[in-house]
Amino acid sequence: MFLEECVGQIIYIRLNETARHDATLSMFINADTFVGTKLVAVDELGLWLEILLETKTTTEATETLMLTSVVLIKWNFLDGVFVPEKPHLVERHMGFR
């Protein structure tokens, strides 16, 4: 698969309509746009992506801590993938149709 050679690079994904209505996924990712994020791994379940999480460190919210987390995006949630580092690889349409 062409994405395995892109591990560690920034990729852009487009989520499908199913993903836009998933409550858990919407806590991590804005599903209405292309999402640019670092690809951590690729397997039979989907894409593992590194995302930034913003948390407040005090009750007054005077300090913000940026944490990273790895999230699985299942294949059936993907509508397309674009890899800017490899322009010869055109956008691939994925998921189940």
In eight-state DSSP terms, residue 77 is G
The two three-digit tokens of residue 60, written as one number = 């007054």
Give the pLDDT of residue 41: 95
Q: What is the pLDDT of residues 27-57, one digit of tens each?
A: 777 767 777 889 999 999 999 999 877 666 6
Q: What domains are defined for the chain? A: 2-82 (2.30.30)
Give the pLDDT of residue 1: 58
CA distance 65 to 37: 19
Q: What's the pTM?
A: 0.74
Q: What is the pLDDT of residues 66-95, one digit of tens each?
A: 778 898 999 988 888 888 876 555 545 544
pLDDT at 20 over 80: yes
Give the pLDDT of residue 39: 93
List, in sequence order, every beta strand (DSSP E) within 43-94. Answer: 46-56, 64-74, 78-82
